[in-house]
Structure 1
Amino acid sequence: MRDGVKVPVSDAVQVELAAVAERYARRAPTDRYSLLQPDVWQLVHERQRAWLQGLVARGLTDTAALQLVEVGCGAGGNLQEWLRLGLRPEHLTGCELLPERLAQAREVLPVNVRLVAGDASTLDIAPASQDLVLQATVFSSLLDDAVQQQLAEAMWRWLKPGGHVLWYDFTMDNPRNPDVRGVPLRRVQALFPQGRIHAQRITLAPPIARRVCALHPALYSVFNALPWLRTHRLAWIQKS
């Protein structure tokens, strides 16, 4: 549905992807997400710990054997993390809508990491071939329900039986940013109705994190101990 008019899914995808690219283009360059910022490195370290704990809890400790696709790989930061966790470059695939960000990823990742530009839902990935399919703050940038659904169906199709969609996204709307919307747990369940979902809230609300870390980085953990101040959900969604 677009402005009250129902359009075919294929057309909706093209409209929405063009809108996503335009929304990203409007964002002014900033160091807000630099790892040199104390709130950012604590956010990243918290998420890394959650990923590691999840791998161990599920017995996925032979990381060199794991196949992983990331939807919306950006400049390659998450794929670099998975390389450090022991995944092999030839077992990694990243898809990114924005050519300039994909070019940045190509500069920093090994040549045998597969990188693909364009619509992730049309990515040429063999069905039931992936152990993990990762998305980090992608679905909150997709404002069209049909586009979200098409991407979720593709991600699910790529998974092996027993594999997991690894989901990281924020749960509530940002009243200051109409270009994104929160994805509550009920929506995640609707997108992956056959999945077995284990979810946890993590990540101190970034505006709060920036303010308290400006006073002292240790305050991140203090405020993050309050569950209602955590704005993101990390979920493991298993394909039974």
Structure 2
Amino acid sequence: MASSDEVSRLIRVYREYEQRDSWSDLNAGNRTILEERRRVLGRILAEHGLLPLADRRILDVGCGQGQVLASLMAYGAAPGNLFGLDLLPQRIEIAKQRFPEIHFRQGNAECLAFVDGFFDLVLLFTVFSSILDAQMALNVSQEVRRILKPGGAVLWYDFRYNNPNNPNVRGVSRKAVATLFPDFSLHLDTITLLPPLARHLGRATSWLYPVLSALPVLRTHYMGLLIKPK
């Protein structure tokens, strides 16, 4: 059962985000955050024996305009094995234009139109921190579990802290992740310097970002794999 009120709220919030420019690529802090995330993503895939990605079917839930999903082609993923889902149809239209060889569709992750065990890997990047309704979160996690094959994995990247300046998100603790995926094995590390701080480092970003991000309390996200039992 889809959580219609929560879906409507999410669509409204995401549309508001589209009007903001806080994640401009012109900002050195934003670029460093993304570069760090790409580097860690590659390391995670390598350490868990998932490379190359050539034969693996991959779904990106909340794929936005498709950049993260398309970046997996650098690790050998075949575009015909890549699928992206997003609530906002305008995001999907842009993704289709930018990456026509990848499968994109608009939809709600509470009801995924794929057979059981279809995917080897599911990307969940800042998905559950945006869902404030507990039932919707449970619905999405159950669908993700269903469409993952035994031994498949979730590639997780999400806030671990609440944002006092944004009531539309909430941090997802390690305990909360374990509650959403109770029988999965969790391999999570902290990453990403507090974004508002990172964006204000200016010319000092290249040397100050690694210094500050070495402090665990300033790392705002978890990133890693959640592995479904075989």
Q: The TM-score by the shorter chain falls in which range?
A: over 0.9
TM-score (norm 2): 0.95
**Structure 2, gaps ≥5 residues long:** none
Letter in 1 for 2:42: L
Match of 1:30 in 2: 20
Match of 2:63 in 1: 73
SS in 2 for 1:201: strand
Out of 210, 223, 226, the residue aligned to residue 212 of structure 2 is: 223
- C-alpha change, 1:26 and 1:62, in structure 2 (3 Å) is closer
> In the alignment, is the contact (CA less than 8 A) between 1:168 and 1:233 conserved in 2?
yes
Match of 1:83 in 2: 73
> In the alignment, is the contact (CA less than 8 A) between 1:69 and 1:92 conserved in 2?
yes
The Cα shift of 1:121 comes to 2.1
1:186-201 matches, within 5 Å, as 186-201=175-190
Letter in 2 for 1:118: G
Letter in 2 for 1:46: E
Matched, 1:206 2:199: no
Out of 29, 45, 48, the residue aligned to residue 39 of structure 1 is: 29
Q: CA RMSD of the aligned region, Å?
A: 1.4
Distance 2:6 2:91 in 1: 18
Match of 1:4 in 2: none
> In the alignment, is the contact (CA less than 8 A) between 2:51 and 2:75 conserved in 1?
no
SS in 1 for 2:199: helix
Aligned length: 229
Letter in 2 for 1:40: N
The Cα shift of 1:34 comes to 2.5
> In the alignment, is the contact (CA less than 8 A) between 1:39 and 1:209 conserved in 2?
yes
Match of 2:10 in 1: 20
Match of 1:170 in 2: 159
Which contiguous aligned blocks of 4+ residues in structure 1 show a shift greater than 4 angstroms? none
Distance 2:26 2:77 in 1: 25
Letter in 2 for 1:169: D
The Cα shift of 1:143 comes to 0.4
Distance 2:175 2:205 in 1: 36
Q: What whole-Å deviation, never above 9, does each CA across 1:176-227 have from its counterpart, x for those lacking one?
A: 1111111111110000001000110000010111112354432111111111
